[in-house]
Chain A
């Protein structure tokens, strides 16, 4: 498969075409299933085939050029795919998790009509195509093609139930928030072309790495512009607002697009362009700060949400914050490591939540759930594994990746990275606090959903059931991965061998060494810095005990005889704080007042004043009126009297003679 990488994204694209056709012909669901799930399955096989081929040969970066896509002046962009360690990691989990979620969708979507079923799989296939283009693309413009493609599919799938106004509006919200970010991304691409003359990763990144001092200023600008795009796509402050509403889509969509794959595109981009961020340290610092703030901010909102998917949505934003925090302190491998483990456990959480919602006849409110442990054991145990993973309990997957990020953040503080050591200590503190809150709200979710007694109606209780095997099988596979997935990145601290940290070792070539004689060398060197084994063990224990503390607090709040008593007392004591968090700090309202309403008024002004009065009134109708008026006056020259005409001809001739003389 290596040598013809284009086959990998082409397969889901064919699936998309087939499903469009099948949907149009109102074909049976079994045919759609074969086309939709089969194409992704084949793409997964093709991807792993290519990965095995890649691992067997010595070259670390392989670029396959197919044809020239854009050629304008000095700029050329090739349609080319590249495979390197970063692509391998991304492609491996994107195809695999994507395939599992496609399998899960067979069971989850079986209640839809034949056309809706085909439409769903068509969009999902198109998404897989776009995501693979994003990951495989060898230049910023090609990455942008995938970047926009996944955005489009996200919009289409959030608004899947478009008859419902809220779903349609949520889709639009996601699309618009992403467009705002994409303006930055596009400007970043232009700046890259202007500064380096090429946006191919294998061309401009080495140039930047070789002359870090010369390009430091531009790199900061490009890095920040590209990061604006990342805040949109990966739901960071200030553009995160679309992700909670994206939960309006079907649950497999939330799992695939809004948890596992698409939203991590921003992290992937930052890691891919790590050279740019390393030589422009201000951009790197901004990434770290935004990531750290988002991590704790979103976690605090998740605490008071009652919609099971909303909790997971805010949790996703918070975890994405961790990833950016990791990238922002120069721990690029750790960021990607967290992307991978997060893909496992967050996809599992969403699929588990989908299974719960399926059992509760579409109800998503945790206040009317409870006691589901007995009815759906598979869902419960796999969900619990994912919850332990996200809370960072040893030895589940999330423990290793989250601890790696927090440890590196602390190390950045200890080594006084870029002279902002104190800031990194604060970020570390935010991260560790967010870890506590994460453990708390995740176990709150588990206790409210699976423990205690069922709080819904009798009718709903009667309907409760475990999901079909197409849904539980992916849960079990992801459950196993959530437990063992972390072992690809065991820290050196535990084994004494750096090479046992497989993922970091593997991703080493992605971080290109910088040219000598620059302060940014410190940034590259930070990966070697460590705060000392003793402190590292201490940090590890701190994060572990803080996670356990979070779980215990959640237990005392939401489990056992006196469940819900303490939260109620808390709300009584701090009504304002509770209201603030419950309403998500009123950010949607603030955006509405500060951005949307003024824009709306401006648009109205453009419509009513500029368009209606000036353009339609003065320019269009005014031209017509003047023409009519002129005609009205000048038509009196047309007397109908032949001798008048003859006179004008004679006068004209005389005039001509006088002029020509």
Chain B
């Protein structure tokens, strides 16, 4: 490791990840626009990715825990793939909803109730 580079402490990255997650969650709860909810959702997923990446970076240094680092990286790719699929399905849904009511305000789609 280059001695001039001071590594960012893992805790900092995790704080950032937590903040991003909470922002995402609040976004999901408060936004009405479907696309915005979607974006907030992506934010939550990526906050998780960030946490994975931070651990992968931390464990990569020692040879004994290199396998763990690989685990974290693989999970990131899984999440990205899932998010992509989700986005595809979600956008298709919104298009269908828009065709019906000419809006994607989720509060107006409450017909599946008692």
Contact assessment for A638 and B106 in the assembled complex, using a CB-CB cutoff below 8 Å: no
Asked if A640 lies at the interface with its beta carbon under 8 angstroms from chain B, I say yes
Tally chain A residues at the interface, Cβ within 8 Å: 11
Residue numbers in A under 8 Å from B29 (CB-CB)? 643, 646-647, 650
Contacts of B110 in A (CB 8 A): 639-642
Q: Are B112 and A640 in contact (CB under 8 A)?
A: yes
B: interface residue count bin:
10 to 19
The residue among A635, A638, A641, A650 with the most chain B CB atoms within 10 A of its own CB is A641
Q: Which of A638, A646, A647, A650 is B113 in contact with, Cβ under 8 Å?
A: A638
Q: Are A642 and B109 closer than 8 Å at their CB atoms?
A: yes
Q: Do A636 and B114 have beta carbons less than 8 Å apart?
A: yes
Distance of A16 from chain B, by nearest CB (Å) = 66
Closest B residue to A654 by CB, please name it.
Answer: B25
- B107 is an interface residue with CB less than 8 A from chain A: yes
Please determine whether A640 and B111 come into contact, CB atoms closer than 8 angstroms. Answer: yes
Contact with B along A605-644 (1 / 0, CB 8 A): 0000000000000000000000000000001101111110
Selected from A636, A638, A641, the residue in CB contact (under 8 A) with B107 is A641
Residue of A638, A639, A642, A650 contacting most chain B CB atoms (<10 Å)? A642
Say whether B107 contacts A643, CB under 8 Å: yes
Residues from chain B with Cβ under 8 Å of A638 in the complex? 112-114
A639 adjacent to B113 (CB under 8 Å): yes
Enumerate B55-77 residues with CB–CB distance to A below 8 Å: none
What separation, in Å, do the CA atoms of A397 and B15 have in the docked complex? Answer: 115
Rounded to whole angstroms, the CA-CA distance of A227 and B112 in the bound complex is: 74
Residues in A neighbouring B114, C-beta threshold 8 A: 635-636, 638, 640
B106 touches A642 (CB 8 A): yes
Interface centre among B107, B111, B114 (most CB of A within 10 A): B114
Of the residues B25, B107, B111, B112, contact of A650 by C-beta under 8 Å: B25
Q: How far is the CB of B17 from chain A (nearest CB, A)?
A: 16
Task: Check: B51 CB closer than 8 A to any chain A CB.
Answer: no
B28 within 8 Å of A by Cβ? yes
Q: Which of A171-212 contact B (CB under 8 A)?
A: none
A26 shortest CB reach to chain B, Å: 65
Chain B residues, CB < 8 A from A642: 106, 109-110
Question: What residues on A are CB-neighbors of B112 within 8 Å?
Answer: 638, 640
* Nearest-CB residue, chain B, relative to A653: B25
Nearest B residue to A642 via CB reads B106
Cα–Cα distance between A643 and B107 once the two chains are bound (Å) = 8
Q: Known pairs A646-B29, A647-B29; list 17 more (Cβ under 8 Å).
A: A636-B114, A638-B112, A638-B113, A639-B110, A639-B113, A640-B109, A640-B111, A640-B112, A640-B113, A641-B113, A642-B109, A642-B110, A643-B28, A643-B29, A643-B32, A646-B28, A650-B25
User: Could you list 29 examples of A-B contacts with CB < 8 Å?
Assistant: A635-B114, A638-B112, A638-B113, A638-B114, A639-B110, A639-B113, A640-B109, A640-B110, A640-B111, A640-B112, A640-B113, A640-B114, A641-B106, A641-B107, A641-B110, A641-B113, A642-B106, A642-B109, A642-B110, A643-B28, A643-B29, A643-B32, A643-B106, A643-B107, A646-B28, A646-B29, A647-B29, A650-B25, A650-B29
- Nearest first, the 9 A-B pairs at minimum CB distance are A640-B113, A640-B110, A635-B114, A641-B110, A640-B112, A642-B106, A638-B114, A638-B113, A639-B113
